[in-house]
Amino acid sequence: MHKEIIKDIGEKELIRRVAEYMPPNQTSDDCAFVNTNRKDLLINTDLMVENTHFNQEIISPRDIGWKAVASNYSDLISSGCIEFIGINIGLVLPTNTEWEWVQELYEGFSEALNQFGGSILGGDCSRGENKMISINAIGLQSKLKLRRNACKPGEVLVTTGMHGLSKLGLLIKSNKISEEDLNLDEKLINQSIKAFCRPTPKNYILKTMLSSSELFINKEIGCTDSSDGFYQAILDLSQESKCKAVIDYDKIPKNYDWPNGNMWDQFYFFGGEDYELLISLPNDLANKLMQLENEITKIGYFTKGNPNIEIKNYPNKNNLVNTAYSHF
């Protein structure tokens, strides 16, 4: 049975079909109208390129759609967004791409938007040799002004959740690491695959901060997400804030079944795509947040000094090699 491909249906029909995932009349004009009531906007753009950011042999188009939204929203959240307006989608497809693949991709977009908020505002499409998805996400700046350059000496560094799970999920899904050989706990396996395929941005942490104390409001707070990896996120905070980060290896949160060893530390520090938040706070505010959110963990502090990272109590310091992902 012949499956419809993009070459068969053409650009106009493709637009008509994906418009079903948008509010009414959203594709009638070349621009989308958005009323913000004069609030400040946060805007982010992320690309996902086939065979660079995703391999359709190991992740479904529906999960790719979800992940594309989640990664963009995580960037908005790490700057202080808790209310999302929506996304514009730029889509490049080979002409032999099946319509079913595109439909599943948009189902993933819609599932993520239904979960986190916002809608598909519009976009564009073209043809190319490889699939490429460009998401332009728009949200409203809340009273929490989170910035990479706002960490201060004397503040403590906290993190949400655990790192390294997405990397492990990728390796399991791509059969580069064997579940049986490693004898991993089934819960850890499932948690890792979910972290890779269906990451969850941490906007609820910001809502807790806003509702718990006025001390969080209208002040710049150091923050970023770990989309490029745990180590790189801390280094970004250190360099942008021009102060030194000191991390206690014994305090970083790990799954109870997370194995020991250099390879696992590499996954944890440099894996990436975990979308956890790293936040710099005065000690009293960090303690308050930890009381309200049990997934918040103190892992270190910032001090005066050259922008770099010192890791205390690390058993194999010389074996830790920065393998953070770089596009170029």
Are 32 and 26 within 8 A, CB to CB? Answer: yes
Residue with the two structure tokens 């892992």? 299
pLDDT of residue 263: 87
Confidence at residue 265, expressed as pLDDT on a 0 to 100 scale: 92
How many CA atoms lie within 13 Å of 306's alpha carbon, on the beta-carbon side?
2
Cα(31)–Cα(33) distance, integer angstroms = 7
Q: Which of 141, 162, 192 is the last residue of a domain?
A: 141
Is residue 1 situated within a structural domain? no
Tokens of 173: 């899904």
Mean pLDDT of the chain: 89
Amino acid at 16: R
Task: Average the pLDDT over 113-118 and give the result.
Answer: 96
Domain that holds residue 81: 6-141
Q: List strands edge to edge, sheet with 220-225.
A: 145-147, 220-225, 277-281, 156-160, 296-303, 244-248, 309-312
Can you give the chain as a three-state secondary structure string?
Answer: CCCCEHHHHHHHHHHHHHHHHCCCCCCCCCCCCCCCCCCCEEEEEEEEEECCCECCCCCCHHHHHHHHHHHHHHHHHCCCEEEEEEEEEEEEECCCCEHHHHHHHHHHHHHHHHHHCCEEEEEEEEECCCCEEEEEEEEEECCCEEEHHHCCCCCEEEEECCCCHHHHHHHHHCCCCCHHHHCCCHHHHHHHHHHHHCCCCCHHHHHHHHHHCHHHCCCEEEEEECCCCHHHHHHHHHHHHCCEEEEEHHHCCCCCCCCCCHHHHHHHHHCCCCCCEEEEECHHHHHHHHHHCCCEEEEEEEECCCCCEEEECCCCHHHCCCCCCCCC
Domain count across the chain: 2
Helix (H) or strand (E) holding 279: strand 277-281
Q: Is 225 a domain residue?
A: yes
pLDDT over 80 at 110, yes or no = yes
Give me 198's structure tokens. 């269906």
Task: Say yes or no: 125 and 175 in one domain.
Answer: no
Residue 328 pLDDT class (50, 70, 90 cuts): very low
The verdict on 89 and 112 lying in the same domain is: yes
| Mean pLDDT value of segment 282-294 | 93
For residue 65, the domain's CATH number is 3.30.1330.10
CATH number of domain containing 193: 3.90.650.10
Residue 16 CA to residue 299 CA, distance in Å, equals 50
Residue 146: band (very low, low, confident or very high) from pLDDT cuts 50, 70, 90 = very high
In a 3-state reduction of DSSP, which class is residue 86? strand
pLDDT of residue 18: 85
Task: List, for residues 226-252, the tens digit of each pLDDT value.
Answer: 999 999 999 999 999 999 999 999 999
pLDDT-based confidence at 253, cuts 50/70/90?
very high
**pLDDT of res. 37:** 76
> Which of 94, 117, 141 finishes a domain?
141
* HSE-CB of 207 using CA atoms within 13 angstroms: 7
Residue 259 has a pLDDT of 86
pLDDT digits (tens, 9 = 90+) for 149-186: 999 999 999 999 999 999 999 999 988 876 555 678 88
Phi, psi torsion values for 20, nearest 5 degrees: -65, -15
> How far is Cα 177 from Cα 189, in angstroms, rounded to an integer?
11
- Whether 325 is in a domain gets the answer no
DSSP state for residue 33 in the 8-state scheme: -
Residue predicted with more confidence, 116 or 212 = 116
Domain shared by 74 and 112, yes or no: yes
Mean pLDDT computed over 255-277: 90
Per-residue model confidence (pLDDT) at position 180: 59
156 and 131 both lie in a single domain = no
Q: pLDDT per residue over 14-51, tens digit each?
A: 888 888 888 877 665 567 667 777 788 999 989 999 98
